[in-house]
Amino acid sequence: MWLYLAAVLAGLYLLWRWHRERQTVPGLPEKYVLITGCDSGFGNLLARQLEARGLRVLAACLTEAGAARLRAAASPRLQTVLLDVTSSQSVAAAAAWVRERVGDRGLWGLVNNAGIAIPTAPNEWLTKDDFVKVLDVNLVGLIEVTLSLLPLIRRARGRVVNVASIMGRVSFFGGGYCISKFGVEAFSDSLRLEMRDFGVKVSVIEPGYFKTLITSAENMEKNFLSIWEKLPAETKASYGQNYLNEFLVSLRKMQKQCNPDLRLVTDCMEHALTSRHPRTRYSAGWDAKLLYIPLSYLPSALTDLVYSWSYPKPAQKA
C-alpha cells in the first residue's frame, strides 16, 4: 500500500516538474546572450543553437579566425567580439561593447564557458605557474567577466550560466582544472543567493566526459610528455617510466570513452537560459549521472578505493 502511494506521488512530482520546466520565457527574439569561449566546442555549438532559436547572440572568441568562422555559419543576429578572459583590459573592452549593444534592456544571459585543462599532471610534477595558468582562465577570468556584466544582468533580471564539470564534485587528477571547477561551484552558490532578490537566476552545468578540444588525447599526451621531460631525475626515478606509460594509456582510454554528442551539454545551457524555471544544476552525460555524482556522495575512503583501481602505481612506494 505505502509502496504504491510513494510510486504515485513520485510519478506526480516528475510530471509536475516536467510541465513546469517546459514553460519558456516570453520575448526570446529580443533577448541578448553573451557566451565566452566560442571558438570551438560547447560555446561554438551553443552560439549557433541559440541564434537558430531566435535569440540575439553575442559570441566572445579568443581568436579572429574563430570569430570569422562563426560569423560565416550564422545570421546577422549573431555578433562576435574578441575576448581574453585573463586580461582585465580585454574584459573591460568586451563589457563596454556589450553595453553599447544591449542598451537599457540589459543583458539577459551570460554563459561562462571559456576554459582550459592543460597543464595537468600529478601535482608534484607541476609548478605554481602551471596551476595559475588554468585558474586564471577557468575561475578568475570567469569571476571577472561576471562582475563586469552583473549590473547589465540585474537590469534584465536575467541569467548567469557557469560551466563547471563533474570534476567540480570529485577530483582524481592533479593540476588546476579540478581546483578551478570546485571554485566555480562555490562562486555560483554564493552568487545565486546574492542575486535571488534581484530576480537573477544562476545555474551550473556539470558535464561528464565529452569529446572537445581540451579533452583531446593528443594534446593531453603532449602536455604529459613535455612536463615529464622537465622533471628532476630524482622525481622521475620515484615515479618510474612505467607510471608515465600507464598514465598515457589511461588518457587514450578516456578519450575513447568521451561522449561526442555535445548537444547534451548545450541543451542544458539552452534550457537554463530559456526556461521560466531553470534548474540550479544540470548534469550532462550518463557517466555524470550514474557514476560521478553518486561517487561524490560516498565517504572519501570509498571513492579513493574506486579510483585507486585504475591509478598508475609509482616505482618507489612507501
Please tell me the distance from the alpha carbon of residue 107 to that of residue 97, in angstroms, as a whole number: 12
Range with lowest mean pLDDT among 14-18, 76-80, 182-186, 194-198: 14-18
Average pLDDT taken over every residue of the chain: 92
Q: Look at residue 316 and tell me if it is in a domain.
A: no
Quick one: pLDDT at residue 216? 65
Q: CA-CA distances (angstroms) from residue 268 to 42, 45, 48?
A: 11, 12, 15
Stated as kind and residue range, the H or E segment containing 160 is: strand 159-163
**Known catalytic residues?**
177
Residue 110 falls within a domain, yes or no? yes
pLDDT for residue 146: 98
In a domain, 85, yes or no: yes
Residue 150, domain extent? 28-211+260-287
How many angstroms separate the CA atoms of 50 and 46, rounded?
Answer: 6
Q: Which region among 8-12, 101-105, 291-295, 313-317 has the lowest average model confidence (pLDDT)? A: 8-12
Domain of 164: which CATH number?
3.40.50.720
This prediction has a pTM of 0.92
Domain contains 227: no
Domain count, the chain: 1
Could you tell me which residue, 99 or 9, shows the higher pLDDT?
99
Lowest mean pLDDT among 5-9, 97-101, 104-108, 159-163: 5-9
pLDDT tens per residue, range 47-80:
999 999 999 999 999 999 999 999 999 999 999 9
Is residue 260 within 8 A of residue 41, CB to CB? The reply is no
Whether 235 is covered by a domain: the verdict is no
| pLDDT for res 22 | 79
Residue 3 in domain:
no
User: Which tens digits make up the pLDDT trace of 120-156?
Assistant: 899 999 999 999 999 999 999 999 999 999 999 999 9
Q: Give the position of cell 542598451.
A: 103
Please give the pLDDT value at position 318.
Answer: 60
Residue 259, pLDDT > 70, answer yes
Q: What is the mean pLDDT of residues 271-281?
A: 96
Residue 188 in any domain: the answer is: yes
- Residue 42: per-residue pLDDT: 96
Closest CA to 80 of 44, 30, 28: 44
Helices (H), 158-240: 176-195, 217-230, 233-239
| Inside any domain, residue 12 | no
